[in-house]
Structure 1
Amino acid sequence: MANLVMFCILAVVILGSAVMCVTTTRIMRAATFMLFVLFGVAGLYFLLDYTYLGAAQISVYAGGVTMIYVFAIQLVNKRTLQGLTERMKGSRVLWGGLLTIIGCATVILVLLKNQFLYAAMAAPDAEVPMKAIGHALVGANRYEYVLPFEFISLFLLACIIGGLVVSRKEK
């Protein structure tokens, strides 16, 4: 019962912070709300007794949000940081909502078509051993994730280099 209460609290924190992250107009507040979302996800890992993943979530993503703070301060002008930004147009909000509904419908259709939900309900007590998760993360065979991880790391490196190039002051 305590796990269910903690899950509900973490779910409310995660969902509330995620909504506030995408709806606020101030970049520092958005980064702070994103930090709350990431801490909430780490709390879910701790709730599932995946302490290593929870600690990695906190250390890696807390560092990442710190980098967002640094880039936000360096790359965004003073007026934007103070909240003097332009408001969104109604048509952009309408298109964003429409695309969100289409995306959610696509995810639900894929879940129902591939029967992921039914398979998850059939074996709720099946526990995946940590060794299997480790092999899946560092393996290079089919359905293993070392190559996508490397591609993402190269993409993030390119983003960091691009941010440094953009933040350079022209003489």
Structure 2
Amino acid sequence: MARLIMFAVLAVIILASAVFCVSTKRIMRAATALLFVLFGVAGLYFLLDYTFLGATQISIYAGGITMMYVFAIQLVSKRTLQGLSERWFGKHTLLAAFIALVGFAEVLRHAAVSGDALSNEITMETIGKNLMTAEKYGYVLPFEFISLFLLACIIGGLVILNIKKKEESK
């Protein structure tokens, strides 16, 4: 019963933060709401006793990716952000709603067809082996490439920031 209550609390936090993230006009508030969403997802992992995934969610996504977003936001000038406008209703909104409904219907159809979902469950041992192997279907090499790419992005951001500071000091 306690797990169900904890799941409900985490679900409300995740949904409320996600809606706030996409509906606010202030970009730093959106990044903060995204941080709460990522912490909520980590809470769900911990609730399922997937401590490795929960710790990974906190350290990589909530810590690293969110800080990279904040760093990128700080690099963008305020004049660039002021020119942006938001429209809620239009062709794109209706198209996005239609695609979301089709996706939801497909998930429901797949859940009804598959029957016993627990028989197809992937164990934590399988996930761990796939994360740490460089063989076929392994994820070590993609993780390394992504880490190098993120490092290049950070260095590029610092170079851009250094150039802008030199221009402003002249």
TM-score by length of 2: 0.74
Structure 1: how far apart are the matches of 2:96 and 2:86? 17
Partner of 2:25: 25
3-state SS of 1:49 partner: coil
Return closer, same or farther for 1:58/1:117 CA change in 2, 3 Å cut-off: farther
* Alignment check: 8 A CA contact 1:25 1:85 kept: no
Q: Deviations over 1:124-159 (max 9, x none)?
A: 377543221111223344444334434433443343
* Alignment check: 8 A CA contact 1:138 1:146 kept: yes
Structure 2: how far apart are the matches of 1:117 and 1:138? 33
Aligned match for 2:93, one of 87, 91, 97: 97
Any residues of structure 2 matched to 1:38-57 within 5 Å, and which? 38-57=38-57
Partner of 1:122: 116
Segments of 5+ residues of structure 1 without an aligned counterpart are none
Task: State the AA in 1 paired with 2:69.
Answer: I
Structure 2: how far apart are the matches of 1:51 and 1:22? 29
Give how far 1:164 is off: 2.9
3-state SS of 2:118 partner: coil
Runs of 4+, deviation exceeding 6 Å? none
| RMSD over aligned Cα atoms | 3.2
Give how far 1:48 is off: 0.3
Return closer, same or farther for 1:85/1:59 CA change in 2, 3 Å cut-off: same
More relative contact order, 1 or 2 (CA 8 Å, 6+ apart): 1
Q: Does 1:156 align with 2:157?
A: no
Give how far 1:11 is off: 1.2
Q: Does 1:146 align with 2:140?
A: yes
Partner of 1:72: 73
Q: Does 1:107 align with 2:108?
A: no
Give how far 1:32 is off: 0.6
Return closer, same or farther for 1:143/1:93 CA change in 2, 3 Å cut-off: farther
